[in-house]
Amino acid sequence: MKPRFRTTMAAAALVVILGASAAIALDQTNGSGLTNEGASLGFNAKANLKGNITYISHDGTHFKVFCRDGLTAYRNQKPTGQGHLRTRVTATCKDQDGKTIYAEIYFIDRGEPGKRDVERIFFTYDDAFALDANGDPDVWLTTCNSGVSITEACHDVGIISKGNVQIHKGKSAAQKWTRVTRR
């Protein structure tokens, strides 16, 4: 092979790699607000599994969940029938006492200014459901932020108020759904 051809091929490969990395870096879901049950929620989840999620109840139980770079999966899902973007995020987190708790959160971005954005949050302490908290039957027995102490699992599902969900998709995600998982 001629040196010039090799240099051209190497440069082309580098452009492809950098372009793919930049596209993935743009895939993220972020925002904040009050959940359907009135808890505070803040999040910044990225397809490269970096980011943070914070959930704080205001019901007197002091239930709090902190996910600090503990994301285990990020997936852009098929848009809703109305064309709204959706993502699914799972994470290994800590509660207010430092105990491990697992989160599975679905977000729907219904556009600006975020008056009808949706969150579906599931928390479980059962490590058998670490990547599928929604699959734990106990999540449906207790609503988070309802005045009940969370000992096994809980859910908080509905429209976010006083906030916004923003889903940003890179060029790669527009062509195919991104699924990144870490164990």
- Work out the pLDDT band at 6, boundaries 50, 70, 90: very low
pTM for the model: 0.81
Q: Residue ranges of the alpha helices (H) in the chain? A: 3-26, 171-175
What the block records as the tokens of 105 is: 């959160």
Better-scored residue on pLDDT, 148 or 9: 148
CA distance 42 to 46: 14
Residue 138: CB atoms within 10 A of its CB come to: 18
Say what the pLDDT of residue 9 is: 45
- Work out the pLDDT band at 112, boundaries 50, 70, 90: confident
What the block records as the tokens of 53 is: 């999620």
Say what the pLDDT of residue 33 is: 96
- Work out the pLDDT band at 19, boundaries 50, 70, 90: very low
- Work out the pLDDT band at 73, boundaries 50, 70, 90: very high
Domain boundaries, the chain: 3-181
